[in-house]
A and B are shown apart, each in its own frame.
Chain A
Amino acid sequence: NAGVTQTPKFRILKIGQSMTLQCAQDMNHNYMYWYRQDPGMGLKLIYYSVGAGITDKGEVPNGYNVSRSTTEDFPLRLELAAPSQTSVYFCASSSDRGQVTEAFFGQGTRLTVV
């Protein structure tokens, strides 16, 4: 049971570099999310998707882009990395059975921008 898989687990980027955080789920969930967790803070929603081809902004979308070409995959793109994007990034998914159910999280990606 893989659940939600994120890669990489750790990454160091230089200011101005770009990268893509990968996220894949094998539970056939329509809903997928990207959150970031800053030190001493709770998770904040960056982007979310309710199905393939449909994405929308969350609370803190600036500096990020997403795409959802398949049900399984929801990559997060960082363009022109900045120190403010140093954080732990979590991908999550949930089903859409008519009521809010459990969100399943990946193990997170610790990103440092130097």
Chain B
Amino acid sequence: AQTVTQSQPEMSVQEAETVTLSCTYDTSESDYYLFWYKQPPSRQMILVIRQEAYKQQNATENRFSVNFQKAAKSFSLKISDSQLGDAAMYFCASATGGSEKLVFGKGMKLTVNP
């Protein structure tokens, strides 16, 4: 069974600064995928970034990047140049290959201070 753990329930960051959100996971599968989803107050779940476990290179999407440490089963999200619109709940999730079913962490609330 997969598990995803987000141990920090809340974080805050100053606008324009950098913040790192942590996530650890556990799986016995070799083929799996990791995700960060953003949920603003509108409730809409929005994909931020996706990482294939078989790829050693860390995924990046504009101001968002991950630090994928496979041996440590760690998958942190770095947000650079934080913007007010980044304020949201952030969920780490995993899925095994061929399954498509997401397992989510409990989420972390990010506040961006002007």
Contacts and interface: CB of A to CB of B under 8 A. Distances in A.
Query: Are A and B associated in one complex?
Result: yes
B106 to A, nearest CB: 5
Which bucket holds chain A's interface residue count? Answer: 20 to 34
Q: Which of A42, A44, A105 gathers the greatest number of chain B CB atoms within 10 Å?
A: A42
Given A42-B91, A88-B43, A100 B99 contact: yes
A45 B42 CA distance: 21
Contacts of A96: 100
A2 interface: no
B95 interface: yes
Contact of B43 (A41, A45, A102, A108): A108
B64 interface: no
Interface stretch (B13-21, B44-52, B68-76, B80-88): B44-52
B101 A48 contact: yes
Contacts of B9: 40
Given A99-B97, A100-B97, A40 B104 contact: no
Contact of A44 (B42, B45, B98, B104): B104
Interface of A: 31, 33, 35, 40-45, 48, 50, 58, 88, 90, 92, 94, 96, 99-103, 105, 107-108, 110
Interface of B: 4, 6, 9, 32-33, 42-45, 47, 50, 52, 91, 93, 95-107
